[in-house]
Amino acid sequence: MPEVLMSNLLPSSFFGKKKVAVKPEPSNRSVINKNDNLPQNNDYKNEKKYTKSLRTIDTNESSSSSSGSPNVPTSYPSTNAKLPPKLNENPSSSPIVNHPNLLEEKKNFVRPSMLNNTSRLNTSVRFQDTKTEGRPSIYLFIFVNPLSGDCKGKDLVELPIQHFRLRQFPHVQVEIHNILDEKDRNLGVESIRLVEQMAKDGQLPSLEDQQLSVMLSEQEQQESNLHKISDTVRTRHIHVWSAGGDGTVMSVFEMLVHHHIDLDYMFFSCIPFGTGNDFSQVLGWGRTIKHPNILGKRLQHLEELITERLEKSEAARLDIWQVEMTAYHGGYVRLAGPQRKDGHDVLEIDEREQRGTYPHMIRKMCNYMSIGVQGYVGSGFEKHRAGNRWMNMGIYTYESAKWVFWRRFPSVTSFIDKIKFKDEIILVVPDPDRKGTDGLSKGIPQMTKHPIDFVIQNIPHIWGREVDLWGEAKYGLEAVKDRSGPTDPENWTPQLANDKKMEIFTIQDMLSYIKKLANIRQHVSRIGQFETPFEIVFREPPSKQDKNWWQNLFVNKYRQRNVICIMCDGEFYILKDPKSLRFKRFAQIWTLGRLDEHVSGRLVQDEQVSQKLQKEQQ
């Protein structure tokens, strides 16, 4: 039966006691703040600021202390520690305050009897540990989108408790925050920043398992082996999980970046509540949660979910890319669908208020982008998105059927002109409306077909299914002639989610699309493997005088209006008179994927391959 224990971190002002900050004394105890073996990420920040560690002492520890000073519990972190500038300058709100009843036990207070068959008090707090009594060493922050998918996350944000610990893992504190609630979201961010500073100052209990074993008796050590946190989980103090769909994943990441959270001090994972959940699947956590009710009786389902991720996790790197979408003068970039607050897109929690029509828009991506088919279908789907996962799947199927039987997808080569790498043209795309190759540069790789879908892939996963189109392909190189550079297969490396590259392939027509959905995937038109940064350049908007009115009667309405639709990590965008898409690797984060005797997440496999390649190169 899952049981929870409320955390006990409160500012000293609650007790009316004075804390004194002194210079720390030398200590033989080493505090591991993070895994030294994990490479650090410096792509998205210029510098790190470190402050000297402070610690809180009991002013009545010795008779030599000044008289009249109140006692200060040594088990609580010092609030005199230097905080990041963002916390010192006009904080948006006070730090999260936890339940006060667990902070100090009166001697005459009789705790409820909870004796097991060994006649030992069944409590998760080790009172004999005077240094770290009741203090967690791992902080798990779950940011929930309560409107994602079937609104399963709503039960989490409506829990009457927000901070708790499972009895089997008393050193792990779990906090749940509503990412759509600005106040609650900011409280979660503020807590992360506070814990981050404490970790940098060495004010958190050690993550070393050796220290834990010293505190436990022999019998307790045998019992603790039944539920043991993985070695990887114990290497970082901060864990951040997104609870929602693929859009929520990037929403949480955008939030962390916006508030300058140090990504080197955390692990990232997720709970799948959305429709496709590609990110969760490549991590190995599945497409959906096991039970329709995330909580379960007496929180049993929630306990199982958290325990599974703490016990069966392995670290894996993931590249995060920044995409800048721009339009020509008079054009725009906007999200598809009506403006609404239903929690499905990243811009709803973006404090920069980018929703609307703009000449350019910047966002992050970690999964894949589709220019063409999925963008067109998804744009229609957004108009009718429902609050039920199965209804959404039905709406998406209906929108797909409309395009298959009544409409015709325009060729993406009618819009795309070329691909550039560091301002150098590395691929040209002939215009399907013009015959011949006049005006095309000789010696530069050139596309030979006119597909309906252009896929830019970071992870080997697509369509909400475990489909590795790039890796399974054996044919299709005829899609480009005069191959060289990034388009030459001789220069390609195995597709990995952490290799600073993205793969581009195309879907030729609806027949090809159906074949790949039907598991006929050996023929894939692979275009190339492109390193950061690269740019997809679109053609200039056609003049209205280029065609007579009667010629436009037989032209797709999207081509007439020069509008192209894009899907990026489960979000849909409409570009009128598109100019370019610029891709740049923004950061690299450490995720926690599943690794046990039954399942090995694809990102974990990629990390193992990457580590092996690095050893071979040394």
What's the pLDDT at 16? 43
> Do residue 154 and residue 65 come from a single domain?
yes
- Sign of CA pseudo-dihedral 509, 514, 515, 521: positive
pLDDT over 70 for what percent of the chain? Answer: 67
pLDDT for the residue 368? 93
The C-alpha atoms of residue 335 and residue 355 are separated, in whole angstroms, by 7
Q: What span, in angstroms and rounded, lies between the C-alpha atoms of 396 and 385? A: 9
Helix 389-405 × helix 373-382 angle, to 10°: 130
pLDDT of amino acid 283: 95
| Residue 145 domain-assigned (yes or no) | yes
Is 85 within a domain? Answer: yes
Based on the domain organization, do 334 and 286 belong to the same domain?
A: no
**Per-residue model confidence as pLDDT tens digits over 428-468:** 999 887 776 555 667 899 999 999 999 999 998 887 777 78
Per-residue CA distances from 468 to 523, 529, 544, 609 (Å)? 12, 15, 42, 16
Q: State the pLDDT at residue 616.
A: 87
Clarify whether residues 280 and 329 are in a common domain. Answer: no
CB environment 411-448: b (16+ within 10 A), e (fewer):
bbbbbbbbbbbeeeebbbbbbeeeeeeeeeeeebbbbe
Q: Does 254 share its domain with 325?
A: no
pLDDT (0 to 100) of residue 523: 82
Closest CA to 297 of 202, 155, 162, 170: 155
Residue 436's pLDDT is 63
pLDDT at 212: 47
What does the pLDDT read at residue 100? Answer: 38
Whether residues 289 and 334 fall in one domain: no
Alpha-carbon distance of 291 to 372, in angstroms, equals 35
Task: Yes or no: say if 475 and 463 are a contact pair by the CB < 8 Å rule.
Answer: no
CATH code at position 421: 2.60.200
Which residues of the chain fall short of a pLDDT of 70? Answer: 1-134, 209-227, 338-356, 384-389, 405-406, 436-441, 544-555
* Domains: count for the chain: 2
To 5 degrees, how large is the angle CA 35–CA 188–CA 356? 110
**Domain for residue 271, yes or no?**
yes
Quote the pLDDT of residue 24.
43
Structural domain range at position 576: 321-338+361-434+443-544+555-588
pLDDT at position 135:
79
Residue 376 sits in the same domain as residue 506: yes
Q: How far apart are CA 299 and CA 315, in angstroms?
A: 27
**pLDDT for the residue 338:** 62
Rounded Cα gap, residues 392 and 405, in angstroms: 20
Q: Which two tokens stand for residue 285?
A: 């956590």
603 in any annotated domain: no
Residue 525 placed within a domain: yes
Same domain, 326 and 274: no
Check whether residue 53 and residue 167 sit in a common domain: yes
Q: Looking at the domain assignment, is residue 303 inside a domain?
A: yes
Residue 419 lies in a domain: yes
Residue type at 442 in one-letter notation: K
Same structural domain for residues 122 and 224?
yes
d(CA 132, CA 117): 27
Same domain, 111 and 210: yes
Give yes or no: residues 127 and 232 share one domain.
yes
Residue 365 sits in the same domain as residue 307: no
Residue 344 falls inside a structural domain: no
How is the chain split among helix, strand and coil, in percent rounded to 5?
25, 25, 50
Residue 521 pLDDT: 77
